[in-house]
Chains A and B, each alone.
Chain A
């Protein structure tokens, strides 16, 4: 545990004191939602060689929103045993009834899982996130945090089915010491390359959760401090991703899948080359009872051992198979157990996790 746990207590108390749903001011409305999760995790691996061996993980996520006519503000701050960071800070404007423009730091709209769950641990069924949507702090090798502008189309509830669009342009993370490092807007420095993201989704019922869609992104990933990049003589990486996702339900069954083609133009001092691979996951969920959900997920990355891009992130999980069960109890509380086999570029290990998650509102 690090010193950030000391920050948790006052923030937890502050959030609990403000646990009524939403507050109506004389001007505008604001809301504070507080997600909390905690539990032990065990990675059967030498801590020096890869992901941390075992730990007690506590995550507190504070989500604040404010709306006054067309203006919106959204801030998401994480305090955990691993980190303390302003994850999202967005200022928004409802341009038309169906279009919202945002400026600030946000989650890449081309990462579907992130667009659905963000840092709301309680809202997602599994404890872990798939390889394509792993956050940079957790050694994710595809950018998830962008700083810039984003436009989102609102839905049209007049019709049953509809399309949803999201596009963004801004600054991408840089390639740092064994991980990607997104722009920290509280201590912003220049040197970040450009980022473009697009997503189009089709919803058969706009008030439902089913969706199918396509994604595209292009990132200029500059090298900041990465020993593997220096060994490769790498100057920067121009990364393209093209993907498709499906999130569908059939009564008590749900399937969630996303496959990406990742193409990296590796610009080196002497010779540039292209490094490409597929990354994706398939998660299946079965909810026989309202409060009980069984789930499993297959994740994979092709050519991970030979990829010179993935070699920049030796601690990144590239493949995993997991099984788990989630039990929802009381209002807004859940217990989840997850076990699986995971692999980084160089080794395989088992994982076991237990988590309690909740949301205060």
Chain B
């Protein structure tokens, strides 16, 4: 009986640890660590990802998509642009066609994404919080999504 209780306790502890780790999952908005950008509100961010011109210190802010994993992509579509993948892709194509606005660059490789952010101090992207904390090349501007 004692062994059964012990096993149950171990299982519950394991589950709670997993839950805690999962619950702390956050998606954050990031820029290069030496970027002069600070806070961007939700509307500004949505405008940037939808192809509208948003400036800071007279420089146009560029956005990059992080397509490293499906969950991140789903959260981006839901919380930042509030569109389905199909609708967002179609809108981006129409922007190129009608206004000559290049589509938002996509990065599957996190290292390449960070390199692009470092090249352009007036650029932003998003990633899991733990990935942002693990990189000294980026800084967190704000939390976009919290589970």
Contact assessment for A65 and B59 in the assembled complex, using a CB-CB cutoff below 8 Å: no
A65 touches B102 (CB 8 A): yes
Chain B hits for A332, CB < 8 A: 89
Question: B94 at interface (Cβ–Cβ under 8 A)?
Answer: yes
With A31-B102, A67-B100, A118-B98 already in contact, the answer to whether A157 and B50 are too (CB < 8 A) is yes
Total residues of chain B contacting the partner, CB 8 A:
32
A residues near B97, Cβ cutoff 8 Å: 33, 63, 117-118, 120, 123
Q: Give residues 96-119 of B contacting A (CB, 8 Å).
A: 96-106, 116, 119
Per the bound structure, the CA–CA distance linking A332 and B91 in Å amounts to 13
**Is B145 part of the contact surface with A, judged by Cβ < 8 Å?**
no
A26-B120 contact in complex given A69-B60, A361-B93, C-beta closer than 8 Å = yes
List, in ascending order, chain A residues with CB within 8 A of B103's CB. Answer: 21-22, 31, 33, 361
A27-70 Cβ-contact flags toward B at 8 Å (1 or 0) = 00111010000000000000000000000000000010111011
CA distance A24 to B63 in the complex (A): 10
Q: For the complex, what is the distance from the CA of A24 to the CA of B47, rounded to whole Å?
A: 18
Q: Is A3 among interface residues, defined by CB-CB distance under 8 A? A: no
Enumerate chain A residues within 8 angstroms of B100, measured Cβ to Cβ.
65-67, 72-74, 90, 92
On chain A, which size bracket covers the interface? 35 or more
Is B139's beta carbon under 8 Å from chain A? no
Q: Is B102's CB under 8 angstroms from A69's CB?
A: no
Alpha-carbon separation in the docked complex, A24 to B94 (Å):
19
Which of B89, B101, B120 has the most C-beta atoms of chain A within 10 angstroms of its own C-beta?
B101
Residues of A within 8 A of B47 (CB): 157
* A53 to B47 CA separation, bound complex (whole angstroms): 48
Q: Are B52 and A24 in contact (CB under 8 A)?
A: no
Cross-chain contact B93 with A30 (CB below 8 angstroms): no
Once the chains are docked, how many angstroms separate the CA of A67 from the CA of B62? 10
Given A26-B120, A157-B43, A33-B53 contact (CB < 8 Å):
no
Once bound together, how far apart are the Cα atoms of A24 and B104, in whole Å?
9
Residue A359 CB within 8 A of the other chain: yes
**A100: B residues at CB distance < 8 A:** 99
Contact of A22 among B98, B105, B120 (CB under 8 A): B105
* A120 close to B93 (CB less than 8 A): yes
Of B55, B89, B120, which is within 8 A of A24 by CB?
A: B120
Q: How far is the CB of A208 from chain B (nearest CB, A)?
A: 10
Where the two chains meet, the residues of B that have a C-beta atom closer than 8 Å to any C-beta of A are: 43, 46-47, 50, 52-53, 55, 59-60, 62, 64, 89-94, 96-106, 116, 119-120, 123
- The 9 A-B residue pairs with the shortest CB-CB distance in the complex, in nearest-first order: A74-B100, A31-B102, A65-B100, A22-B103, A29-B102, A24-B105, A22-B105, A22-B102, A21-B106
